[in-house]
Amino acid sequence: SQKIEQNSEALNIQEGKTATLTCNYTNYSPAYLQWYRQDPGRGPVFLLLIRENEKEKRKERLKVTFDTTLKQSLFHITASQPADSATYLCALLGARQLTFGSGTQLTVLP
């Protein structure tokens, strides 16, 4: 069966450090992978999309890598700030629907 796993339910890091979140998938052949941010009581907000033929994508302090051999995506936030504290979700587009991982709750400590 298809699975999307985000290995850490929660991650605490110190302000200024780089946060690295992992997303692994099985039984998918995605054309692209997406990362979303979700704050408590709010809907997900789109952050980045990376295609299967792209190794890396950057946007300001965010960086995403995509390894289709390992079936893994890494999501990095550099120079992290307390305002980056949120739950981060990876998502894959299957046959017709977007399926989400369970998310990693990131807390950036001041």
Partner 1 sequence: GAVVSQHPSWVICKSGTSVKIECRSLDFQATTMFWYRQFPKQSLMLMATSNEGSKATYEQGVEKDKFLINHASLTLSTLTVTSAHPEDSSFYICSARDWDRGLSQETQYFGPGTRLLVL
What are the percentages of helix, strand and coil residues in the chain, rounded to 5? 5, 60, 40
Residue 41 as a binder of partner 1 (CB under 8 A): the answer is yes
Tokens of 33: 């992978």
Choose the binding region for partner 1 from 14-22, 35-43, 68-76, 77-85 (rule: CB under 8 A): 35-43
What is the torsional sign of CA 14, 39, 75, 69? Answer: positive
**Residue selected from 92, 103, 106, 108 as contacting partner 1 according to rule CB under 8 A:** 103
Residue 73 as a binder of partner 1 (CB under 8 A): the answer is no
Residue 34 as a binder of partner 1 (CB under 8 A): the answer is yes
Q: Which residue has tokens 């110190």?
A: 14
Q: Which is nearer to partner 1, 68 or 99 (CB)?
A: 99
Q: Which of 55, 62, 57, 35 is nearest to 46 (CA)?
A: 35
Residue 30 as a binder of partner 1 (CB under 8 A): the answer is no
Count CB atoms within 10 A of the CB of residue 108. 20
Residue 58 as a binder of partner 1 (CB under 8 A): the answer is no
Residue 49 as a binder of partner 1 (CB under 8 A): the answer is yes
Phi/psi for 29 (5° steps) reads -130, 70
Residue 101 as a binder of partner 1 (CB under 8 A): the answer is yes
Interacting residues toward partner 1 by CB under 8 A: 32, 34, 36, 41-46, 49, 89, 91, 96-103
